[in-house]
Structure 1
Amino acid sequence: MTSPAAPEPSAPARRGSARPGWAWLGLVPFSAYILLFLALPTVLSVASGLFDKAGHFTLANFAALGDPVILNTFWNSTWVSLLTAAIGAVVGALFCWALMGLSETGGVRTFVDAASGVFAQFGGVMLAFAWIATIGTNAVITVWLKNSVGFDLYADGAWIYALPGLILPYIYFQIPLMVITFTPALKALKPQWAEANLTLGGTAGGFWRYIGLPVLAPSFLASFLLLFANSFSSYATAAALASQGSQIVPLQIRTALTSETVLGRENLAGALAFGMIVVVAVVMWVYSLIQRRAARWQA
């Protein structure tokens, strides 16, 4: 006995399956933006490191990445980024956890969500000026502490204009960024999991130890890596605060391009940019892997 043949697709269905869709046209503006403002500058900056000032091919610029001064600059960028990312991730996660006890549509949650979006993007010269005006060498709080309690913030030197001075401003925009990225992970914790834990005789501590923290760990680590990349690539705030010296990689790139004392090393900036791209690319690749795993629990 033969089985009935499958019905023929209708003519409109056949035409629809053969006709290419036009939805891809919506990606054209975004693709053009990525090409012109991300891909092309990246290729040009990296390619510039392969030539000397006279335009001749050379690997000397990339060999300079092994110079102790350059390696120390990368180390400075790394430890500052790790420290600020760790502080921002922990404080931001605790802040998110505290917000979970409030109504999602309430005034406090709405205000915090809006403020986090603003403060996470508040950087550059504006942020540097705000810190200089607040705790600079002659700022309001600095003078008040010195006159009121006799405490001198800068007894050991003007640290705000050196590498340690970048830590507080970086934390300032890292915490709200963590709030933005980690809140969805906390929202994904289903109340049924806590109820099942209590029904089976578990405790609140046991829930966080065996369920909550393991589920949140991938999202937390992914957010931490995002904060690290954000700090590692930050330039404008550091350039405004640390106008002298090249303590971190972005400032070293600026020095290679604009220095009047070290001439003929403009193409070194391309090699430094390549080093930064490699670091950030590895971090974001690991971030994507972890975020893919975390997404299974956020469905």
Structure 2
Amino acid sequence: MLVGLVLPVIALATGAFEGDSLASSVGSGYRHALWGSVKLSLVCAVLGAVFGLLVARAVLAGGAVLRRLVLTASGVLANFGGVPLAFMFIATIGNAGIVTTALHDWTGLDLANSPFSLYQFGGLAVVYLYFLVPLMVIVIAPALDGVRAEWSEAAENLGASRWQYWRHVAGPLLAPPVMAGALLLFCGSLSAFATAQAMVGATVPLVTLQIANALSGNVSADNAGVGAALAIEMIILVSIVMAVYWAIERRTARWLR
């Protein structure tokens, strides 16, 4: 913890407060990149939480074998990212990808010139969801297991409709873990770097890419200080999100005992 977390944060903080690095890091260009990362993370967190919840609900209702297969696969896919993930999508649905070429040859559909582009904001969000949805499945599955079948039966015996059961019983119980999972996905999206670097470069403004540019070997020491300041801003943002996540998780654990 000391070597891997504490000392690097101290080094970043030292560099961030040298000169006017901190003031420069909130300039228009860097602020735009920070907002781009936050916007992308919000979109991915919401979509990942919704699709992950739906997949987990379907999987848990599908039997023990399907459950083991999907949860095992989710454990692998949730950790599959970086350049290999970017290459997989580029080779599949990129401008010259296998699927893009096959659709053009067989149906005349030209994905390369369609409104959707793998190398823009929407394409990057789709790629991120490839590992965020499995992560949400892993996170939300224990909470879904905590919602007992007896509660649904009791609500039905008391005359409640299916909507009323989800509105007044299951929904309030699942809302905190879903929110906690969405916050976790937000942090994962915010901190992702290698996939975005390999796919979009400077096309989509992201703070992680700005940090990499600032800390690269062909910049001045002042820019290195700006990179450290941007990293400190990310650490503060992630720390706030994770504090909220831990508070929600504690509340959820108490309710689902």
Who is 2:26 aligned against? 66
TM-score of the aligned structures, taking structure 1 as reference length:
0.81
From 37, 52, 57, give the equivalent of 1:92.
52
Quote how far apart the aligned CAs of 1:263 are: 6.9
Who is 1:117 aligned against? 75
Alignment of 1:14-163 (within 5 A): 34-51=1-18, 58=19, 60-103=20-63, 106-155=64-113, 159-163=117-121
Say which one has the larger Rg.
Answer: 1
Alignment of 1:195-214 (within 5 A): 195-214=153-172
Quote how far apart the aligned CAs of 1:46 are: 2.4
CA distance in 1, matches of 2:69, 2:179: 26
Quote how far apart the aligned CAs of 1:139 are: 0.8
C-alpha contact 2:120 2:204 (8 A) present in aligned 1: no
Deviations 1:60-108 (A, max 9, x none): 11101321111110111011111111111001101111122133xx321
Who is 1:272 aligned against? 230
C-alpha contact 1:49 1:270 (8 A) present in aligned 2: yes
Evaluate the alpha carbon distance shift between residue 163 and residue 204 of structure 1 in structure 2; reply closer, same or farther with a 3 A threshold: closer
Quote how far apart the aligned CAs of 1:161 are: 3.0
TM-score of the aligned structures, taking structure 2 as reference length:
0.93
How many corresponding residue pairs?
Answer: 257
Please give the secondary structure, in 2, of the residue aligned with 1:160. coil
Evaluate the alpha carbon distance shift between residue 45 and residue 261 of structure 1 in structure 2; reply closer, same or farther with a 3 A threshold: closer
C-alpha contact 1:256 1:269 (8 A) present in aligned 2: yes
CA distance in 2, matches of 1:232, 1:117: 20
Q: Kindly indicate which of the two structures has a greater share of residues assigned to helix.
A: 2
RCO greater where, 1 or 2, for CA within 8 Å and sep 6 or more? 2
Q: Which runs of 5+ in 2 are unaligned?
A: none
From 238, 243, 252, give the equivalent of 1:285.
243
Deviations 1:185-236 (A, max 9, x none): 1111122212221221222221111101011101111110110011001111
Quote how far apart the aligned CAs of 1:167 are: 1.0
Identity %: 38
Q: What amino acid is the match of 1:79?
A: K
C-alpha contact 2:21 2:222 (8 A) present in aligned 1: no
Alignment of 1:139-288 (within 5 A): 139-155=97-113, 159-244=117-202, 247-258=205-216, 260=218, 264-288=222-246
Q: Which runs of 5+ in 1 are unaligned?
A: 1-33, 52-57
CA distance in 1, matches of 2:73, 2:220: 43
C-alpha contact 1:133 1:140 (8 A) present in aligned 2: yes
CA distance in 2, matches of 1:140, 1:224: 33
Evaluate the alpha carbon distance shift between residue 125 and residue 296 of structure 1 in structure 2; reply closer, same or farther with a 3 A threshold: same
Deviations 1:142-162 (A, max 9, x none): 111222222222226894334
Please give the secondary structure, in 2, of the residue aligned with 1:138. coil
Q: What amino acid is the match of 2:72?
A: A
Which of 118-127 and 37-46 deviates more? Answer: 37-46
